[in-house]
A and B are shown apart, each in its own frame.
Chain A
C-alpha cells in the first residue's frame, strides 16, 4: 500500500507539473495520465523536487500559524503588562509559549499521518497539562492568565482560517 501511494503521488505531481489534468472516473477517482518515464526510472533528486510543492504548502501554513501565534502572544502580553501587572503578564507569556509548543507538536503529529499511520499523536496534550500543574503549584504564576495565554493560539488559527487564500 505505501508503494502504491508513493507511485500515485509521484504520478499526480508529475501530471500537475506538466500542466495536464486527469480525467475523473465513474467512482470519483482521478485517472492520471501515464507518465513517459516510470517512477523507478527517475532519479531521486527529481522525485523529491516533484513532490516538494504539496509538502511545502503545509510547511508554509505551519510557519504562518507559528508566526501568527507568536505575534498575538507578544501583543497581548505587552498590553496586559500595564493593565494587570507583571505576574499576570509573565503567566500569559508562559502560556503563550506553551501554546506555540503545542501547535508545533500538533503540526508534527499531523505531518506524520500517512498510509502507514492513521492515528494522531497525543503527546501534545502533555503541554497544557504541565502548564496547569505548574501554574497551580508555582506561586509566581497565575492560573487564569496562563490558561488564557495558552489559548491564544486560537485567535491565530481563526485568523489563518479566515484570511487564508
Chain B
C-alpha cells in the first residue's frame, strides 16, 4: 500500500466514524431524554416507553455501526491496498 493510499484511508476512516456518530448521537440523546421525561410523567407506561426506546435506539445505532464498519474495513481490510 502506498503512503498516499494509507494516509487517505486513515483520514477517510476518521471521517467515517466521526461523521457517522454525529447524527445518531444527537438523536439518541434526544430520545433518551424524552423517554426519561415520559417515564417520570407516566410511570405506569415505563415498560412500553423502554421497549419503544430500545427499538428506536437499535435502529439509530445501526447508522453509527455502518460508519464504524466502513472505517474498520478501510483500516484492516483495505480494498485499495493493491
Contact = CB atoms under 8 A, between A and B. Distances in A.
Interface of B (DSSP majority class): helix
Contact of A136 (B45, B59, B65, B73): B73
A12 interface: yes
B18 interface: no
Interface residues of A, number: 48
A133 B69 CA distance: 9
Contacts of B12: none
B6 to A, nearest CB: 16
B61 A125 contact: yes
Nearest to A64: B51
B40 A118 contact: no
Given A106-B58, A110-B53, A154-B62, A115 B40 contact: yes
Contacts of B76: 132-133, 136-137
Interface of A (DSSP majority class): helix
Nearest to B72: A132
A49 interface: no
B3 interface: no
A58 B46 contact: yes
B63 to A, nearest CB: 12
Interface string A114-126: 1100111000110
Nearest to A5: B40
Interface in B32-82: 32-33, 35-36, 39-48, 50-51, 53-55, 57-59, 61-62, 64-65, 68-69, 72-73, 76-77
Given A29-B41, A154-B62, 6 more contacts: A12-B42, A13-B43, A30-B41, A125-B68, A154-B58, A164-B51
11 contacts: A5-B39, A8-B43, A16-B44, A29-B41, A57-B47, A115-B36, A119-B29, A120-B29, A132-B73, A136-B73, A136-B76
